[in-house]
Amino acid sequence: MKFTLPAFTKNFYFIAGCAFAFWMLFIDANDIITQIKTKSKLNTLRKEKVFFEEKIKEAEIEKEQLFTNEDMLEKFAREKYFMRKDKEDLYVIVED
């Protein structure tokens, strides 16, 4: 049994089209692998954007509380900057 190729595979346009498709899918700067990696990175960046937008909202709420509530401002200063009142001892406990 002898294997023969179909007649349309010998057509110039079919060969040129296959060569073009191969070039665009695997060799070009925007090949399919690059497109998949770019899409993955885009999805990761979108997730990070949502995360940071939530953090910004939390920070704005905390900022609003600090400027409106005197007790929150004192609590923030004590916890974040280890500030203390006169004649007061401060102990910092660091957990491993």
pLDDT by residue (tens digit) across 63-85?
898 888 888 888 888 878 777 77
pLDDT digits (tens, 9 = 90+) for 33-68: 899 999 999 999 999 999 999 999 999 998 898 888
Mean pLDDT of 4-28: 90
The DSSP code sequence of 4-68 is ---GGGGSHHHHHHHHHHHIIIIISTT-HHHHHHHHHHHHHHHHHHHHHHHHHHHHHHHHHHHHH
